[in-house]
Amino acid sequence: MSFKLPKLPYSYKDFEPYIDRKTMDIHYNKHHAAYTNNLNQAILNTNMINLSIKEILKRTHMESPIIRNNSGGFYNHNLFWEILTPNTEYTHPSPYLNEIFKENFNSFDSFKENFSKVAANHFGSGWIWLCVKKEKLSICSTINQDNPLMYGMGCEGIPILGLDVWEHAYYLQYQNRRLDYISSFWNIVNWIKVEENYKKNMKK
């Protein structure tokens, strides 16, 4: 199996002023493309060549750091692009999803506050996740390109939303102001997609 860089359903400039065009271009065409190409090279002539990306992630604790880092980088960015949207009609959770947040975090605003706090306090590069497991939601973080599907992460469940807090995701525009980047992120989250991810994985 050869993994491919996904085609984005929007242009690089569509997220301005929240994420600038140059950052989007570099993030997608340099960083995500490199993870994709490196992953394909790393699994060539191995027993992972015919596995899905999720199957690879679940076995990365037994494999080389190259496979671990690049499989995570490939999967994590795929999810990140999917849960972003420039369409303001999608950037508010539905009544159904609001109720789910109320059940798990007391309110949607409380969820955002908790998620933002984890993102702000995460040291160094990594990702912040909203995960679902048997209809329960949880927030956690992982270092580098690790994610909750990998073994022994201490992150329970399947990720349905992820925020990239590597500096390459925001430094050109925000420099060291990670808090501003986190705040901007909430303006471009595709809650329709997040809800879809929740419903698809809520029983697992």
pLDDT value for 202: 86
* Helices 95-105 + 108-121 axis angle, to 10: 60
Q: Please name the helix (run of DSSP H) or strand (run of DSSP E) that holds residue 133, with its range, or none.
A: strand 126-133
Residues 6+ away with beta carbon under 8 Å from 12: 21, 22, 24, 25, 28
State pTM to two decimals. 0.96
**DSSP code string of 139-181:** EEEEETT--TTSTT-S--SEEEEEEE-SGGGTHHHHTT-HHHH
pLDDT value for 1: 63
d(CA 76, CA 87): 22
d(CA 153, CA 121): 18
Average pLDDT along the chain, 204 residues, taken 10 residues at a time: 93 98 98 98 92 91 87 98 97 98 98 98 97 95 96 90 98 98 98 97 84
d(CA 30, CA 25): 8
pLDDT value for 5: 97
pLDDT value for 125: 97
Phi, psi of 140 (to 5 degrees): -155, 175
pLDDT value for 40: 97
CATH number listed for the domain at residues 20-204: 3.55.40.20
Q: For residue 16, what are the CA distances in angstroms to 2, 26, 103, 184?
A: 33, 15, 33, 10
pLDDT value for 203: 79
Q: How far is CA 29 from the centre of its chain?
A: 17
d(CA 113, CA 3): 35
